[in-house]
Structure 1
Amino acid sequence: MNITRENKDALNAVVTVAIEKDDYATKVEKILTDYRKTANIPGFRKGHVPMGMVKKQYGKAVLIDEVNKLIQDGLNKYLTEEKLDVLGQPLPKPQDDIDWSSENFSFEFELGLAPDFKVDLKSKKAITHYNIKADDKMIDDQIINIQKQYGKLISQDTVTKDSEITGTFTNEAEEIDNKVTLTLDKFKGKATEKQFVGAKVGDVITLKTKGLYEDDHELMHALKVEHDKAHGLNIEVNFEISEINKRELAELDQELFDKLFGKDGVKSVTELKDKIREDAEKQFVQQSDQKLLNDVTEHLVENTKFDLPAEFLTKWMQTAGETTMDEATAKDEYEKSEKSLRYQLIEAKIMEANGLKVDFEDVKESAKAMIKMQMAQFGQMNPTDKELDDIAARVLSNQEEVKRLSEQVVSQKLLNLYKEQANVKTKELTYDKFVKEVYGDK
């Protein structure tokens, strides 16, 4: 077998695989001999079928199968030995006129080659890494929420500003019939609050849905309607009050602290505030790191310039999936996935250039950290190493979980690298200001 390559340009090549009779003859002969021993053909005893008849009946199929195996094995070996970084898979050039009665064969395959490029982590403009702090207002609000959550409900005769009101939203024409518990501070306008204050159980209040809440997602949950329907919904709904309560705040005492953090985990309001601040800022770190990772990724994709074998990849995508695509669909799919493909190449280049690898121990430790965190949420603060190893083994038996954890490990390694090598500036601000700066609103 002889394999040669002709480079059409920097991103495209054609590989020719030439197969001669000596490459396959012995193997084909052996398979046909084995067939002869077991062939069951009427008029002949088992094992005594003439070889000519066996070749006539099975010869072509065996030959095609063996030649295809030779091609596949030869191509894989060639790509490895030549250290060719290919995109997709080799595409066979159409050959409808193969003469399988001849002794020698030649096949051509198109290759899409990965581009050669360099990645510069140092952007001219610094990328912001946010250091998000929990301010006093956030801590105080969280304490109030805790006091409400663990407080007592006291029945009321009439609605006041701080009541918790249970009732049912209805609109017969729109088939709305949903029981909820709400508080007046969630409504957008003061006029709605005035409609409720002083109302009693059994009263029915008519409300307009347009502008009822600041966020239409609140309306979606209140009325239990589809997402698209909630946006811009402009109808009247009735709300019949069935229960009115006032929530008495729980005392900030040792009994509450122990419920929240275990016995003597927190011993004062000051320690409670410190604990809430610490937990909140841990979550902020995850959010800030993800924002940095996204921003560096976006910068690299936009500023690392290289060409791709677009025509080859479009053609490859037509047959790469479970179902065959036509040319127009494949072109559309390629355009949608081009940005992702570019980042995959950039990521691989960065990993290789910096010696970053993900091995099984990395994935296992990531699994154990995840398990430990989940167990802590259910009060199991100190699991043994054996417990963690046993659960991790079950998690890692799932290939989808292994893939997900591996991707998380890669992201963490890249994040650490970006913090060290990218042009990053730190900006400290509160969570509210972070949301406003990054997302444009609160």
Structure 2
Amino acid sequence: MNITRENIDELNAVLKIDIAKEDYTEKVQKVLKDYRKSANIPGFRKGHVPMGLVQKQYGKAILVDEVNKLLQENLQKYLTEEKLDVLGNPLPKDQGDLNWESDDYSFEFELGLAPKFEVDLKPKKAIKNYKIIVDDEMIENQIKTIQKQFGKLTNKQEVAAGDEVSGSFVNEEEGFEKKTTFEVDKLKGKANTSAFVGAKVDDVVTISTKGLFKEAGDYRSFLGLSEEEAKEKNLEVSFKIEEVNNRVAADLDQDLFDKLYGPGVISSVTELKEKIKEEGEGQFKQQSDQQLLNDVTEALIENTEFDLPAEFLKKWIQRSGEKELTVEQAEEEYARSEKGLRYQLIEGKVIADNKLQITFEEIKAFAKEMIKAQMAQYGQTDPADEELEGIAARILSNQDEVKRLSEQLMNKKLLDFFKENVKLEEKEVTFDTFVKEVYN
């Protein structure tokens, strides 16, 4: 067998694999002998079928199968030994009808080669690293929410501002019905609020879904529609008031503090505020870290220039699926996936150049820390290492879980690396400012 490579350019090559008769004869003959032992052909005892008949009936199929096995095995071996960094998979060139009556065969494969490039981790413009703070207004709002959550409900017959009403939004023509409970203060506009204030249990209020609530998230929570859907449909809905309750806020006393954090953990409003700030900023850190990872990704893609074997990749996309795509469909798919492919190459180089690869032991340790954190949420603050090992072993026996944990750990490694090596500019913002800057 002989394998030769012709480099068309830096990103494209053609492999030619020549297979001679002596490369496959022994394997083909062995399979034919095995077939002869088990062949069940009328007129002959099992194991006594003439080899010529076995050859005639099965010879070509076995030849094709063995040559293809030999081809794939040596193709992959060559790519590994030559350390060729290829994109996609080798594509067999169309060679017309191959003459299987011949003794020797030649096959050609197109290769798309990964580009050579360097990654500049020091962009001219620093990347914003948001630090989201919990301001006094957010703390006060959270305290009010806690007081309501742990407060006492008083049943009423008539709706007043600040009350909670229960019932169902209904539009019979559209077949729309949503049972819900919401605070009157969450309604948007004087007209909507006035429709409820003063109404009594069993009264029916008629309103429109468009512009019904102050906050976008409340549409989904209380109406079952997004804000855009509620605006677009603009349904006229009836709401029969089934129950009215006034929630009396809980006192900010030791009893409430103990319910929130356990006996004696905090003992004053000042400590409660500090705790809320600490927890809130801890939660916001996940969002700011994810945004930093997104921003660094975008910057690296924008600032790292290299060419791709585009025509090869389009052809590979066209042929690689269960169903072959049209040229136009392959073009569209390539356009959608090019950016992601570029980042995969950049990320792979950053990982390789900086030895950020992860080991199974690191994955196991990461899994145990996650298990420990989850157990702490349920009051198990000091689990035995044997217990953690057992749970981790069960999780890591699932390949999908291993893949998921590996991706999370690699993201963490990359994030830590970027924080140390990329030019960043820390910006302290409130959550509202963060949302405006990032999502608007």
Work out whether residues 28 and 62 of structure 1, in 8 Å CA contact, stay in contact via their aligned partners in 2.
Answer: yes
1:64 Cα shift? 1.1
Q: Provide the residue aligned with 2:407 in structure 1.
A: 407
Work out whether residues 210 and 231 of structure 2, in 8 Å CA contact, stay in contact via their aligned partners in 1.
Answer: no
Q: Measure the CA separation in 2 of the matches of 1:169 and 1:353.
A: 59
What does 1:33-112 align with in structure 2 at a 5 Å threshold? 33-112=33-112
1:217 Cα shift? 4.9
Give CA-to-partner distance per residue, 1:323-347, whole Å, 9 cap, x none. Answer: 2222221221111111111110110
SS at match of 2:233: coil
Give CA-to-partner distance per residue, 1:143-201, whole Å, 9 cap, x none. Answer: 11111111100122322221112233222222233332121221121332233222222
1:228 Cα shift? 6.2
Cα gap change, 1:371 to 1:290, in 2 (>3 Å): same
Q: Provide the residue aligned with 1:263 in structure 2.
A: 263
Give CA-to-partner distance per residue, 1:56-112, whole Å, 9 cap, x none. Answer: 122212211111111111111111111100001111112332221221111001101
Q: Provide the residue aligned with 1:338 in structure 2.
A: 338
Work out whether residues 14 and 109 of structure 2, in 8 Å CA contact, stay in contact via their aligned partners in 1.
Answer: yes
Paired positions, count? 440
Q: Measure the CA separation in 1 of the matches of 2:231 and 2:9.
A: 52
Cα gap change, 1:43 to 1:210, in 2 (>3 Å): closer
State yes or no: 1:154 paired with 2:136: no
Task: Tell me the amino acid that sits aligned with residue 31 of structure 2.
Answer: I
SS at match of 2:206: strand
Cα gap change, 1:4 to 1:336, in 2 (>3 Å): same
Q: Measure the CA separation in 1 of the matches of 2:430 and 2:60.
A: 75
Task: Tell me the amino acid that sits aligned with residue 364 of structure 1.
Answer: K
Q: Provide the residue aligned with 2:297 in structure 1.
A: 297
SS at match of 1:231: helix
Q: Provide the residue aligned with 1:280 in structure 2.
A: 280
More displaced 10-residue stretch of structure 1: 249-258 or 40-49: 40-49
Q: Provide the residue aligned with 1:353 in structure 2.
A: 353
Give CA-to-partner distance per residue, 1:333-384, whole Å, 9 cap, x none. Answer: 1111111111101100110111110111222222222222222333333322
Work out whether residues 176 and 224 of structure 1, in 8 Å CA contact, stay in contact via their aligned partners in 2.
Answer: no
Q: Provide the residue aligned with 1:386 in structure 2.
A: 386
Cα gap change, 1:30 to 1:185, in 2 (>3 Å): same
Q: Provide the residue aligned with 1:212 in structure 2.
A: 212
Q: TM-score, normalised by structure 1?
A: 0.94
Q: Provide the residue aligned with 1:180 in structure 2.
A: 180
Work out whether residues 216 and 230 of structure 1, in 8 Å CA contact, stay in contact via their aligned partners in 2.
Answer: no
1:291 Cα shift? 0.7
Task: Tell me the amino acid that sits aligned with residue 400 of structure 2.
Answer: E
Work out whether residues 166 and 244 of structure 2, in 8 Å CA contact, stay in contact via their aligned partners in 1.
Answer: yes
Work out whether residues 211 and 231 of structure 2, in 8 Å CA contact, stay in contact via their aligned partners in 1.
Answer: no
Give CA-to-partner distance per residue, 1:26-69, whole Å, 9 cap, x none. Answer: 22222222322333333333333322222212221221111111
Q: Measure the CA separation in 1 of the matches of 2:157 and 2:234.
A: 31
1:405 Cα shift? 1.2
Q: Measure the CA separation in 1 of the matches of 2:258 and 2:303.
A: 53
Task: Tell me the amino acid that sits aligned with residue 326 of structure 2.
Answer: D
Work out whether residues 201 and 243 of structure 1, in 8 Å CA contact, stay in contact via their aligned partners in 2.
Answer: yes
Task: Tell me the amino acid that sits aligned with residue 45 of structure 1.
Answer: R
Q: Measure the CA separation in 2 of the matches of 1:340 and 1:289.
A: 20
Work out whether residues 209 and 231 of structure 2, in 8 Å CA contact, stay in contact via their aligned partners in 1.
Answer: no
Work out whether residues 219 and 226 of structure 2, in 8 Å CA contact, stay in contact via their aligned partners in 1.
Answer: no
Cα gap change, 1:64 to 1:251, in 2 (>3 Å): same
Q: Provide the residue aligned with 1:129 in structure 2.
A: 129
1:11 Cα shift? 0.8
What does 1:157-236 align with in structure 2 at a 5 Å threshold? 157-215=157-215, 217-225=217-225, 229-236=229-236
Task: Tell me the amino acid that sits aligned with residue 373 of structure 1.
Answer: A
1:393 Cα shift? 1.7
Cα gap change, 1:41 to 1:178, in 2 (>3 Å): closer
Identity rate, percent: 60
Q: Provide the residue aligned with 2:7 in structure 1.
A: 7
Cα gap change, 1:286 to 1:266, in 2 (>3 Å): same
Q: TM-score, normalised by structure 2?
A: 0.95
Work out whether residues 186 and 215 of structure 2, in 8 Å CA contact, stay in contact via their aligned partners in 1.
Answer: no
SS at match of 2:429: strand
SS at match of 1:84: coil
Q: Measure the CA separation in 2 of the matches of 1:236 and 1:46.
A: 81
CA RMSD of superposed structures (Å): 1.9
SS at match of 2:232: coil
Work out whether residues 163 and 246 of structure 1, in 8 Å CA contact, stay in contact via their aligned partners in 2.
Answer: yes
SS at match of 1:205: strand
Task: Tell me the amino acid that sits aligned with residue 266 of structure 2.
Answer: V
Work out whether residues 168 and 179 of structure 1, in 8 Å CA contact, stay in contact via their aligned partners in 2.
Answer: yes
Q: Provide the residue aligned with 1:312 in structure 2.
A: 312
- Which consecutive residues of structure 2, in runs of 5 or more, have no partner in the other structure? none
SS at match of 2:323: coil
Give CA-to-partner distance per residue, 1:393-439, whole Å, 9 cap, x none. Answer: 22222222211111111111111111111110111122222222222
Q: Measure the CA separation in 2 of the matches of 1:30 and 1:43.
A: 24
More displaced 10-residue stretch of structure 1: 330-339 or 249-258: 249-258
SS at match of 1:242: strand
Q: Measure the CA separation in 2 of the matches of 1:247 and 1:420.
A: 49
